[in-house]
Amino acid sequence: MRFGRTLCIALITATTLTACGDSGDDGPATPTIDIAALDSGNFPTEPRDVEATRRDDSGYFLEAMRIGAVTPVAVDIDPRLTYQRRYSRYDRRNTPTSAPTLFSVPEEFEFGQFAEGFIAGWEANGERRSTPLLGKEIQTYNLRFGTAAQAETAARGLADEQQKVYPGVPVPIDGFPGAVTRWSHEKRYLDVWLPHGEMLLGVHLQDPVTEPADPTALAEIAKNAFTKQIEMLKSYEPTPVDQLASLPVDIDGMLSRTLPTAERDRPGHGHSTEVIATDQAALHSEKSPALAKGAFADAGVDLVASDGARVYRTRDAASTVRLIAALTAMRADGYKEADSPRDMPGVECFDMSDPKGSWTTTPPTCFLAYDRYVAIVQGINLQEVHQKAAAQYKLLAHDR
């Protein structure tokens, strides 16, 4: 992407979309978007009832989202851990039917056998380098159990299972004498479990490059992880289990106005893919959370809806200008500028720069704004992403 024109385009976008409902001052006229002229193909253009997607276990996934809202991203723990290779479609929600991704466990391992009373949780990750195995990597877990005793039992059971695969030695974590730790010199893994009331906090760290192999620096990162996580948990109010089913699927109708995922793209794991997240939880789905964190703060992002598109709610219409500029900059690698959708002035689109590339890794992408909302849509080709952009615009503008 060439970003000399990005801010200019974003300014056009913001003024275009706010002009639809604001006669404003005596400044120059700005382009308007004629909704009736937009080609949205067969994609849905009216808000849907997302409550209809509720399942028997939806409350557990919704509680997991609440835990994600109080879980630090890796860069909150260590400013050097600025990358997230596993982002976007990677589901970080943990429930009794969606177990966390664990390291150093037997092939036949089943999380449920060692997690009696597990309710919901969140897993996060971060890396020092964008390329695997070239620097420190971290995986954290923020898991809620029914009782403190169940969290303690799970900590011991999980640690015992990991010990079977890669035997190691305990390493003290300064300030956390209750932590169950294991350092595997063979794998350069440090695994730590810390019961904290009804929560079980976990950290998996690896450093494949430092010579000689030494867990001291990793233990310091684990200490920082627990310190930050416990601090953030102070704002978490657990939902009673008998009230999980009453947690709202949507907030302020944002999910209902977010383009749904096409049936062909839905994963086969059985639970819903659509989520509404706070700004903190949404950072876990950004490739560059450090940059995104600053962009969110600057634009006043407070909610992000994700399904077949990704919709950000900013402070006001003017803030969409800066957010679009930041989001396009963060997604520049592998892209070139492409035509905007017909009859949608100001919408910025990009296609893969490598003609031999794949849409699965570098999908054609468009950025658009409506009022205080910014949306990102992707497709298998430019025609599809143009139609998706039109459909998403219609959804945001519907009855407004």
pLDDT in tens, the chain (400 residues): 444 344 343 434 444 444 344 434 443 334 579 999 999 999 999 999 999 989 999 999 999 999 999 999 999 999 999 988 766 557 899 999 999 999 988 888 999 999 999 999 999 999 998 777 778 999 999 999 999 999 999 999 999 999 999 999 999 999 999 999 999 999 999 999 999 999 999 999 999 988 999 999 999 999 999 999 999 999 999 999 999 999 999 999 999 999 999 877 776 554 557 899 999 999 999 989 999 999 999 999 999 999 999 999 999 999 999 999 999 999 888 999 999 999 999 999 999 998 888 888 899 999 999 999 999 999 999 999 999 999 999 999 999 8
User: Which of these, 254, 242, 247, lies nearest to 279 by C-alpha position?
Assistant: 254
Q: What is Dmax (Cα atoms) for the chain?
A: 74
HSE at residue 172, side-chain half, CA atoms within 13 A, is: 3
Spatial separation of the C-alpha atoms in residues 67 and 325, rounded to whole Å: 30
The pLDDT, as a whole number, for residue 264 is 72
Cα-based angle 157, 160, 162 (whole degrees, multiple of 5): 110
Spatial separation of the C-alpha atoms in residues 197 and 113, rounded to whole Å: 21
Tokens of 315: 């402070």
The pLDDT, as a whole number, for residue 268 is 59
The pLDDT, as a whole number, for residue 88 is 56
Residue whose structure tokens are 């060439």:
2
Helix extents (H) in 56-133: 58-68, 74-77
The pLDDT, as a whole number, for residue 16 is 43
Paired residues of 275 in beta bridges: 306
The pLDDT, as a whole number, for residue 224 is 99
User: Which of these, 71, 57, 197, 91, lies nearest to 141 by C-alpha position?
Assistant: 71
The pLDDT, as a whole number, for residue 12 is 40
Query: What are the residue ranges spanned by the domains of the chain?
Result: 37-52+249-397, 57-234
Going by the DSSP 8-state scheme, the letter that residue 274 receives in this structure is -
- CA–centroid distance for 54 within its chain: 21
Count CB-CB contacts under 10 A for residue 362: 18
Helix (H), strand (E) at residue 313: strand 309-313
Going by the DSSP 8-state scheme, the letter that residue 285 receives in this structure is T
Classify residue 117 as left (phi > 0), alpha (psi -120 to 50) or beta. Answer: left
Tokens of 128: 């020092």
Q: Where are the beta strands (DSSP E) in 101-210?
A: 118-127, 137-145, 180-184, 189-196, 199-206
Residue whose structure tokens are 């789905």:
285
The pLDDT, as a whole number, for residue 3 is 42
Count CB-CB contacts under 10 A for residue 75: 20
Task: Read off φ and ψ for residue 126, nearest 5 degrees.
Answer: -165, 160
Helix (H), strand (E) at residue 304: strand 303-306
Residue whose structure tokens are 């300064």:
174
HSE at residue 109, side-chain half, CA atoms within 13 A, is: 21
Question: 57-234 architecture in CATH?
Answer: 3-Layer(aba) Sandwich (3.40)
User: Which of these, 85, 12, 47, lies nearest to 367 by C-alpha position?
Assistant: 12
Spatial separation of the C-alpha atoms in residues 352 and 361, rounded to whole Å: 9
The pLDDT, as a whole number, for residue 360 is 82
Helix extents (H) in the chain: 6-19, 58-68, 74-77, 148-165, 216-233, 279-283, 289-299, 317-330, 382-397
Spatial separation of the C-alpha atoms in residues 245 and 55, rounded to whole Å: 9
